[in-house]
Structure 1
Amino acid sequence: MLNKPEYTLFKNTRYALSGLIEVIRNESSFKLQLLLFFGMGTFAWLLPISPLYSAILSISLFIPLLAELANSAVERVVDLVTLEYHELAKRAKDAGAALVFVSLVMTGAIWISTLLIAFYF
């Protein structure tokens, strides 16, 4: 395969960090997700709840970040194939957007249920 670089632990790490930096630089949605990650993560540890509950809330904030990274990858692959409108390209991008949406709903559900348990049980 022509586009397959040699892999080692250090090269893989460099590729991963390069991809992360590229997404941070070029995706406003990911920047917003990072802002929410740090803001809500800080808020989770300032709440008067058990450290276990704070950890659950903090860890759940990774879900939308991971979904946004996957969505960005889908968008780049679709754009590589075609920049013109195509129904399948739209479906692929919509599915990536749906992934992000579901991840946010899931994270919200985790926060609501965890806070209800922490404060009322």
Structure 2
Amino acid sequence: MTPPRGLLDLRRVWRAACYSFNGLKTALKYEAAFRQEMALFVFLAPLGLWLGRDGVERSLLVGSLMLVLIVELLNSAIETAVNRIGNEPHELSGRTKDIASAAVFLSLLLVVLAWVLVLFDRFS
């Protein structure tokens, strides 16, 4: 039985990976919040790998940091799309940006919660 057409299309996978890397480069170039959160990730991820006692703790510490980057990318994409539509103040545009920003805030709270709980358990 042959796989469905396109399932093993490595050129498509390569192109998708290139688009993803371009997105990361763009976010690093244009989004100050993403740069700050990436710096936090670069500093804390190795610490999380070292402090975590097992795979679960390591995945909580590092995964929560990675989730912040993911949510920030989505927030930036939403803000960019809203700005593309128009820069004039509009209630729905503001609400959209505020809701996306709230998602970033909650992801940052998750980092704090995960790190506090894991480290409290580790050092108590």
When the two structures are superposed, what TM-score results if normalisation uses the length of structure 2? 0.83
Quote the residue 2:39 is aligned against: 35
Question: Which one of the candidate residues 47, 50, 53 is aligned to 2:53?
Answer: 50
Aligned residue-pair number: 113
Give the deviation of 1:42 after TM superposition. 2.5
Question: Which one of the candidate residues 12, 25, 48 is aligned to 2:29?
Answer: 25
Q: State whether residues 48 and 58 of structure 2, in contact with CA within 8 Å, keep that contact through their aligned partners in structure 1.
A: yes
- Residue 108 and residue 10 in structure 1: after superposition, are their counterparts in 2 closer, same or farther (change >3 A)? same
The within-5 A match list for 1:1-121 is 8-47=12-51, 50-52=53-55, 53-120=57-124
Quote the residue 1:4 is aligned against: none
Instruction: Quote the RMSD (CA, aligned, Å).
Output: 1.7
Structure 2: state its 5+ residue gaps: 1-10
CA distance in 2, matches of 1:108, 1:9: 35
CA distance in 1, matches of 2:35, 2:114: 22
When the two structures are superposed, what TM-score results if normalisation uses the length of structure 1? 0.84
Identity %: 30
Give the deviation of 1:45 after TM superposition. 3.7
Runs of 4+ in 1 over 3 A off after TM superposition: none
Structure 1: state its 5+ residue gaps: 1-6
- The Cα offsets for residues 3-46 of structure 1, whole Å up to 9 and x where unpaired, read as xxxx9212111111111110110001000001100111132244
Q: Which range moves more in the overlay, 52-61 or 66-75? A: 52-61
